[in-house]
Amino acid sequence: MSQVQEFEKALANSETSVAAFDEHGTSLVKRIQHFLHSTPAAVPLIVLVLSIAVFGATIGGRFFSSYTLTLILQQIAIVGILGAAQTLVILTAGIDLSIGVIMVISAVIMGNCAVTYGLPTLLAVVIGLAAGAACGLLNGVLVAYMKLPPFIVTLGTWNIVMATNFIYSANETIRDADVDVQAPLLHLFGLNFKVGTAVLTFGVIAMVVLVLFLWYVLNHTAWGRHVYAVGDDPEAAKLSGIQTKKVLISVYTLAGLIAAFAAWVSIGRNGSISP
Protein backbone atom coordinates (compact mmCIF):
# COMPACT_ATOMS: atom_id res chain seq x y z
CA MET A 1 0.00 0.00 0.00
CA SER A 2 2.88 2.32 0.80
CA GLN A 3 4.32 1.76 -2.64
CA VAL A 4 1.03 2.83 -4.19
CA GLN A 5 1.00 6.01 -2.09
CA GLU A 6 4.57 6.82 -3.05
CA PHE A 7 3.71 6.30 -6.72
CA GLU A 8 0.69 8.60 -6.50
CA LYS A 9 2.77 11.22 -4.71
CA ALA A 10 5.44 11.08 -7.40
CA LEU A 11 2.76 11.19 -10.08
CA ALA A 12 1.21 14.31 -8.59
CA ASN A 13 4.51 16.19 -8.95
CA SER A 14 5.16 15.03 -12.51
CA GLU A 15 4.88 17.11 -15.68
CA THR A 16 1.27 17.47 -16.84
CA SER A 17 1.77 19.24 -20.18
CA VAL A 18 0.85 17.33 -23.34
CA ALA A 19 3.57 16.54 -25.84
CA ALA A 20 3.27 18.67 -29.00
CA PHE A 21 4.39 17.19 -32.30
CA ASP A 22 2.96 19.85 -34.62
CA GLU A 23 5.86 22.15 -35.36
CA HIS A 24 4.60 23.40 -38.71
CA GLY A 25 3.07 26.57 -37.31
CA THR A 26 6.14 27.76 -35.43
CA SER A 27 7.47 29.89 -38.30
CA LEU A 28 6.63 30.93 -41.83
CA VAL A 29 9.64 29.06 -43.24
CA LYS A 30 8.55 25.77 -41.63
CA ARG A 31 5.00 26.27 -42.88
CA ILE A 32 6.28 26.73 -46.42
CA GLN A 33 8.57 23.71 -46.07
CA HIS A 34 5.68 21.54 -44.84
CA PHE A 35 3.46 22.74 -47.71
CA LEU A 36 6.10 21.92 -50.34
CA HIS A 37 6.69 18.46 -48.83
CA SER A 38 2.97 17.67 -48.66
CA THR A 39 2.22 19.11 -52.13
CA PRO A 40 5.14 18.29 -54.46
CA ALA A 41 3.20 19.45 -57.54
CA ALA A 42 3.33 23.00 -56.17
CA VAL A 43 7.07 23.20 -56.80
CA PRO A 44 6.98 23.19 -60.63
CA LEU A 45 3.91 25.45 -60.50
CA ILE A 46 5.78 28.03 -58.42
CA VAL A 47 8.78 27.83 -60.76
CA LEU A 48 6.48 28.30 -63.77
CA VAL A 49 4.71 31.31 -62.26
CA LEU A 50 8.01 32.93 -61.28
CA SER A 51 9.46 32.29 -64.76
CA ILE A 52 6.42 33.88 -66.40
CA ALA A 53 6.66 36.87 -64.06
CA VAL A 54 10.36 37.39 -64.76
CA PHE A 55 9.93 36.89 -68.52
CA GLY A 56 6.96 39.27 -68.63
CA ALA A 57 8.80 41.93 -66.63
CA THR A 58 11.82 41.61 -68.93
CA ILE A 59 10.05 42.15 -72.25
CA GLY A 60 7.54 44.70 -70.97
CA GLY A 61 3.85 44.87 -70.17
CA ARG A 62 2.71 43.65 -73.59
CA PHE A 63 3.29 40.06 -72.51
CA PHE A 64 0.56 40.30 -69.86
CA SER A 65 -2.02 41.72 -72.25
CA SER A 66 -5.19 39.67 -72.68
CA TYR A 67 -4.46 39.22 -76.38
CA THR A 68 -1.02 37.70 -75.79
CA LEU A 69 -2.09 35.41 -72.97
CA THR A 70 -5.14 34.09 -74.82
CA LEU A 71 -3.02 33.56 -77.93
CA ILE A 72 -0.61 31.44 -75.87
CA LEU A 73 -3.55 29.44 -74.52
CA GLN A 74 -4.78 28.80 -78.07
CA GLN A 75 -1.34 27.59 -79.13
CA ILE A 76 -0.87 25.21 -76.20
CA ALA A 77 -4.40 23.74 -76.18
CA ILE A 78 -3.45 20.66 -78.22
CA VAL A 79 -0.21 20.05 -76.34
CA GLY A 80 -2.04 20.58 -73.04
CA ILE A 81 -4.61 17.90 -73.88
CA LEU A 82 -1.88 15.48 -74.94
CA GLY A 83 0.00 16.34 -71.75
CA ALA A 84 -3.06 15.41 -69.69
CA ALA A 85 -3.15 12.01 -71.42
CA GLN A 86 0.58 11.50 -70.91
CA THR A 87 0.23 12.42 -67.22
CA LEU A 88 -2.11 9.49 -66.63
CA VAL A 89 0.43 7.08 -68.08
CA ILE A 90 3.35 8.60 -66.17
CA LEU A 91 1.41 8.24 -62.91
CA THR A 92 1.52 4.47 -63.45
CA ALA A 93 5.34 4.68 -63.82
CA GLY A 94 5.03 4.23 -67.59
CA ILE A 95 5.49 6.28 -70.74
CA ASP A 96 3.56 6.52 -74.00
CA LEU A 97 5.73 7.50 -76.97
CA SER A 98 2.92 6.80 -79.43
CA ILE A 99 0.50 9.41 -78.14
CA GLY A 100 1.33 11.93 -80.87
CA VAL A 101 0.82 9.54 -83.78
CA ILE A 102 -2.40 8.27 -82.19
CA MET A 103 -3.64 11.84 -82.41
CA VAL A 104 -2.57 12.12 -86.05
CA ILE A 105 -4.16 8.89 -87.26
CA SER A 106 -7.36 9.72 -85.35
CA ALA A 107 -7.53 13.07 -87.13
CA VAL A 108 -6.97 11.40 -90.52
CA ILE A 109 -9.70 8.84 -89.79
CA MET A 110 -12.14 11.56 -88.75
CA GLY A 111 -11.38 13.58 -91.88
CA ASN A 112 -11.63 10.66 -94.28
CA CYS A 113 -14.85 9.33 -92.77
CA ALA A 114 -16.53 12.75 -92.87
CA VAL A 115 -15.14 14.20 -96.11
CA THR A 116 -14.04 11.28 -98.31
CA TYR A 117 -16.63 8.68 -97.31
CA GLY A 118 -19.46 11.14 -96.68
CA LEU A 119 -20.44 9.76 -93.28
CA PRO A 120 -22.25 12.00 -90.77
CA THR A 121 -19.67 14.17 -89.02
CA LEU A 122 -20.67 13.06 -85.54
CA LEU A 123 -20.30 9.42 -86.55
CA ALA A 124 -16.89 10.20 -88.06
CA VAL A 125 -15.82 11.77 -84.77
CA VAL A 126 -16.99 8.70 -82.83
CA ILE A 127 -15.04 6.40 -85.19
CA GLY A 128 -11.92 8.53 -84.73
CA LEU A 129 -12.29 8.47 -80.95
CA ALA A 130 -12.78 4.69 -81.05
CA ALA A 131 -9.63 4.31 -83.17
CA GLY A 132 -7.59 6.28 -80.65
CA ALA A 133 -8.99 4.25 -77.76
CA ALA A 134 -8.19 1.02 -79.64
CA CYS A 135 -4.56 2.08 -80.07
CA GLY A 136 -4.35 2.85 -76.36
CA LEU A 137 -5.99 -0.50 -75.56
CA LEU A 138 -3.30 -2.27 -77.60
CA ASN A 139 -0.60 -0.52 -75.60
CA GLY A 140 -2.34 -1.39 -72.34
CA VAL A 141 -2.70 -5.09 -73.19
CA LEU A 142 0.96 -5.38 -74.17
CA VAL A 143 2.11 -3.63 -70.99
CA ALA A 144 -0.31 -5.29 -68.54
CA TYR A 145 -0.56 -8.86 -69.84
CA MET A 146 2.63 -9.32 -71.85
CA LYS A 147 4.71 -7.64 -69.13
CA LEU A 148 6.66 -5.66 -71.73
CA PRO A 149 8.35 -2.36 -70.81
CA PRO A 150 6.12 0.63 -71.71
CA PHE A 151 9.02 2.37 -73.47
CA ILE A 152 9.59 -0.56 -75.84
CA VAL A 153 5.87 -1.18 -76.38
CA THR A 154 4.97 2.40 -77.26
CA LEU A 155 8.10 2.85 -79.36
CA GLY A 156 7.00 -0.16 -81.42
CA THR A 157 3.38 0.96 -81.70
CA TRP A 158 4.62 4.44 -82.65
CA ASN A 159 6.24 2.98 -85.75
CA ILE A 160 3.27 0.72 -86.51
CA VAL A 161 0.68 3.49 -86.17
CA MET A 162 2.78 5.95 -88.15
CA ALA A 163 3.25 3.49 -91.01
CA THR A 164 -0.45 2.65 -90.96
CA ASN A 165 -1.25 6.34 -91.03
CA PHE A 166 0.80 6.97 -94.19
CA ILE A 167 -0.56 3.89 -95.94
CA TYR A 168 -4.17 4.65 -95.03
CA SER A 169 -4.01 8.36 -95.92
CA ALA A 170 -1.84 7.87 -99.04
CA ASN A 171 0.03 10.92 -97.70
CA GLU A 172 -2.79 13.19 -98.89
CA THR A 173 -4.00 16.32 -97.14
CA ILE A 174 -7.69 17.12 -96.72
CA ARG A 175 -8.09 20.82 -97.42
CA ASP A 176 -9.57 23.31 -95.00
CA ALA A 177 -12.20 24.37 -97.58
CA ASP A 178 -13.41 20.79 -98.04
CA VAL A 179 -13.76 20.30 -94.29
CA ASP A 180 -15.68 23.59 -94.00
CA VAL A 181 -18.15 22.59 -96.70
CA GLN A 182 -18.71 18.91 -95.88
CA ALA A 183 -17.94 18.60 -92.15
CA PRO A 184 -18.04 21.98 -90.38
CA LEU A 185 -18.50 20.22 -87.02
CA LEU A 186 -14.84 19.17 -87.20
CA HIS A 187 -13.94 22.86 -86.85
CA LEU A 188 -15.98 23.21 -83.66
CA PHE A 189 -13.01 23.64 -81.32
CA GLY A 190 -11.47 26.26 -83.59
CA LEU A 191 -14.40 28.65 -83.12
CA ASN A 192 -13.63 31.62 -80.91
CA PHE A 193 -15.58 33.97 -78.69
CA LYS A 194 -14.79 37.07 -76.66
CA VAL A 195 -14.71 37.44 -72.90
CA GLY A 196 -14.16 41.14 -72.43
CA THR A 197 -11.01 41.91 -74.42
CA ALA A 198 -9.82 38.30 -74.35
CA VAL A 199 -10.41 35.99 -77.31
CA LEU A 200 -10.81 32.31 -76.41
CA THR A 201 -11.52 29.23 -78.49
CA PHE A 202 -13.62 26.21 -77.59
CA GLY A 203 -10.39 24.21 -77.76
CA VAL A 204 -8.97 26.20 -74.83
CA ILE A 205 -12.17 25.66 -72.83
CA ALA A 206 -12.02 21.94 -73.63
CA MET A 207 -8.42 21.74 -72.36
CA VAL A 208 -9.26 23.49 -69.08
CA VAL A 209 -12.38 21.38 -68.49
CA LEU A 210 -10.46 18.16 -69.24
CA VAL A 211 -7.65 19.03 -66.84
CA LEU A 212 -10.10 19.92 -64.06
CA PHE A 213 -12.05 16.72 -64.68
CA LEU A 214 -8.93 14.54 -64.51
CA TRP A 215 -7.80 16.37 -61.37
CA TYR A 216 -11.10 15.55 -59.70
CA VAL A 217 -11.06 11.92 -60.85
CA LEU A 218 -7.48 11.34 -59.70
CA ASN A 219 -7.99 12.94 -56.29
CA HIS A 220 -11.56 12.06 -55.37
CA THR A 221 -12.34 8.64 -56.85
CA ALA A 222 -11.24 5.09 -56.07
CA TRP A 223 -9.93 4.68 -59.62
CA GLY A 224 -7.67 7.68 -59.17
CA ARG A 225 -6.25 6.28 -55.93
CA HIS A 226 -5.67 2.96 -57.69
CA VAL A 227 -3.72 4.72 -60.43
CA TYR A 228 -1.41 6.30 -57.85
CA ALA A 229 -1.05 2.99 -56.01
CA VAL A 230 -0.10 1.09 -59.18
CA GLY A 231 2.47 3.72 -60.08
CA ASP A 232 3.97 3.74 -56.60
CA ASP A 233 4.27 -0.02 -56.05
CA PRO A 234 2.35 -2.41 -58.34
CA GLU A 235 3.10 -5.48 -56.21
CA ALA A 236 1.84 -3.83 -53.03
CA ALA A 237 -1.21 -2.58 -54.92
CA LYS A 238 -1.92 -6.10 -56.15
CA LEU A 239 -1.60 -7.55 -52.64
CA SER A 240 -4.02 -4.91 -51.34
CA GLY A 241 -6.70 -6.11 -53.75
CA ILE A 242 -6.28 -3.68 -56.65
CA GLN A 243 -6.65 -5.23 -60.10
CA THR A 244 -3.46 -3.74 -61.47
CA LYS A 245 -3.86 -5.12 -64.99
CA LYS A 246 -7.30 -3.60 -65.42
CA VAL A 247 -6.02 -0.27 -64.07
CA LEU A 248 -3.14 -0.24 -66.55
CA ILE A 249 -5.40 -1.12 -69.46
CA SER A 250 -7.92 1.56 -68.47
CA VAL A 251 -5.17 4.18 -68.19
CA TYR A 252 -3.63 3.46 -71.60
CA THR A 253 -7.06 3.22 -73.23
CA LEU A 254 -8.13 6.53 -71.72
CA ALA A 255 -4.85 8.10 -72.84
CA GLY A 256 -5.54 6.96 -76.40
CA LEU A 257 -9.08 8.32 -76.20
CA ILE A 258 -7.83 11.70 -74.99
CA ALA A 259 -5.24 11.74 -77.78
CA ALA A 260 -8.07 11.17 -80.28
CA PHE A 261 -9.96 14.04 -78.68
CA ALA A 262 -6.85 16.18 -79.16
CA ALA A 263 -7.09 15.23 -82.85
CA TRP A 264 -10.54 16.80 -83.03
CA VAL A 265 -9.20 19.95 -81.36
CA SER A 266 -6.21 20.02 -83.74
CA ILE A 267 -8.51 19.94 -86.77
CA GLY A 268 -10.29 23.01 -85.43
CA ARG A 269 -6.97 24.72 -84.73
CA ASN A 270 -5.19 23.86 -88.00
CA GLY A 271 -8.16 23.73 -90.39
CA SER A 272 -6.75 21.16 -92.78
CA ILE A 273 -6.02 17.51 -91.99
CA SER A 274 -2.55 16.27 -92.89
CA PRO A 275 -0.85 12.94 -92.09
Consecutive 10-residue averages of pLDDT for the chain (275 residues): 62 60 65 80 84 81 78 90 95 94 95 92 96 96 95 96 92 88 90 81 94 94 95 92 95 97 92 85
* C-alpha span between 250 and 56 (Å, rounded): 41
SS3 174: strand
What is the predicted pLDDT for the residue at 238?
92
The model's pTM: 0.84
Neighbouring residues of 38: CB distance < 8 A, sequence distance ≥ 6: none
Backbone angle region of 151, left / alpha / beta, with phi > 0 → left and psi within -120 to 50 → alpha: alpha
What is the predicted pLDDT for the residue at 61?
67
Residue extents of the structural domains in the chain: 75-270
Total Cβ atoms within 10 A of residue 228: 13
Looking at beta carbons, which pairs linking 218-225 to residues 24 or more positions away fall under 8 Å?
218/91, 223/247, 223/250
Amino acid at 90: I
What is the predicted pLDDT for the residue at 4?
61
Cross-strand bridge partners of residue 193 = 200
| Residue 176 host element (H or E) | helix 176-182
What is the predicted pLDDT for the residue at 171?
86
Question: Residue 171 to residues 22, 110, 216, 271: CA-CA distances in angstroms?
Answer: 64, 15, 40, 17
